[in-house]
Amino acid sequence: MAAAPMTDRQTLLELVTALRARLEWCRDTGAEVDAMAVDGRSAAPAAAATDDDSVPLNAAPRKTPMDGSVAGAGRPTAAVPPVATSAGAPVETLDLLVSPAVRAASDLPQLRAAIGDCTRCKLAPHRTNLVFGVGNPAAELVFVGEAPGRDEDLRGEPFVGRAGQLLTEIITKGMKLRREDVYIANIIKCRPPQNRNPEPDEIASCEPFLVRQLALIRPKAIVALGTFAAQTLLKTRTPITRLRGAWTDYHGIPLMPTFHPAYLLRNPAEKRVVWEDIQQVMRALGLPR
């Protein structure tokens, strides 16, 4: 059966996504922008082809690991991040389709208001509540998960189901913080039907909101929870089993990938390695253990 023709909006979204990837890569590598090279198939830099594990999702993989050396991605460096100097680097969305109000938002309430009853992607009709994020707007630490589940969709708050309870225990019992001390958000703000994985067009539509949230919060560290969050933020397909436990970089913000709490509910033996990852985060933030 012939594929359904793309709508103008889908085409435009793909072009914007490719342009964003190209601009990020040029910014990271210092290369000059080549307008003629901006298309969905040629936007990835040649260097990416040397990384067997890192196939770009919808953008080029990041090039600057935490120790500042040039590397072709793969397993990120395990160096302790220079939190004091690199944290809070501005992260700006380059999505030209994001409304001016979203780009102009100067705090999280303004951003939430600008997002409104978003219908940028096909998840909108399925949601009960748009799950924006919760926590300290000036948090030093942001947890990023995948997408709302049933409980989160009903409550309008991320990580409130069983997996959320486990995350709360990690924050309160493990890190000795309050849940309201950190910020918690997802890559995708609306629940995918039957909790299926978010699709590329949905990510392209929604990720700019998270990018803007992170730019406003300016955290000192990010913890990416699970395969989807880590691979989406880092633009890689490297398995979470290889990503976890090693610092990497998200637009100048140290990022620690680790397993998702839902995975820990199914595999409680892995709590030990997650605790090791969290202890690295605590060390980097200067939190007492």
Binding site for ligand SF4 (CB under 6 A): 118-121, 123-124, 130, 188-190, 202, 205-206
Number of other CB atoms surrounding residue 76 within 10 Å:
24
Pairing outcome for strands 134-135 and 183-186: antiparallel
Is residue 244 within 8 A of residue 277, CB to CB? The reply is yes
Q: Which C-beta is closer to ligand SF4: that of 119 or that of 241? A: 119
Q: Which C-beta is closer to ligand SF4: that of 213 or that of 280? A: 213
Q: Which C-beta is closer to ligand SF4: that of 43 or that of 123? A: 123
Nearest-approach distance from CB 225 to ligand SF4, in angstroms:
18
Is residue 283 within 8 A of residue 275, CB to CB? The reply is no
Nearest-approach distance from CB 199 to ligand SF4, in angstroms:
10
Task: Find the length of the chain.
Answer: 289
Nearest-approach distance from CB 205 to ligand SF4, in angstroms:
4
3-state secondary structure 158-224: CCCCHHHHHHHHHHHHHCCCCHHHCEEEECCCCCCHHHCCCCHHHHHHHHHHHHHHHHHHCCCEEEE
Q: Which C-beta is closer to ligand SF4: that of 130 or that of 215? A: 130
The one-character DSSP state at 274 is: H
Nearest-approach distance from CB 146 to ligand SF4, in angstroms:
12
Phi-psi region of 251 (alpha: psi -120 to 50; beta: other; left: phi over 0): left
Q: Which C-beta is closer to ligand SF4: that of 114 or that of 246? A: 114
**Sign of torsion over alpha carbons 102, 105, 108, 112:** negative
Q: Which C-beta is closer to ligand SF4: that of 140 or that of 201? A: 201
Q: Which C-beta is closer to ligand SF4: that of 121 or that of 240? A: 121
Nearest-approach distance from CB 130 to ligand SF4, in angstroms:
5
- The DSSP line for 24-79 is HHHHHH-PPP-GGG-STTT-S-GGGGG-TT---SSSPPP---TT------SSPP-P
Pairing outcome for strands 253-258 and 221-225: parallel
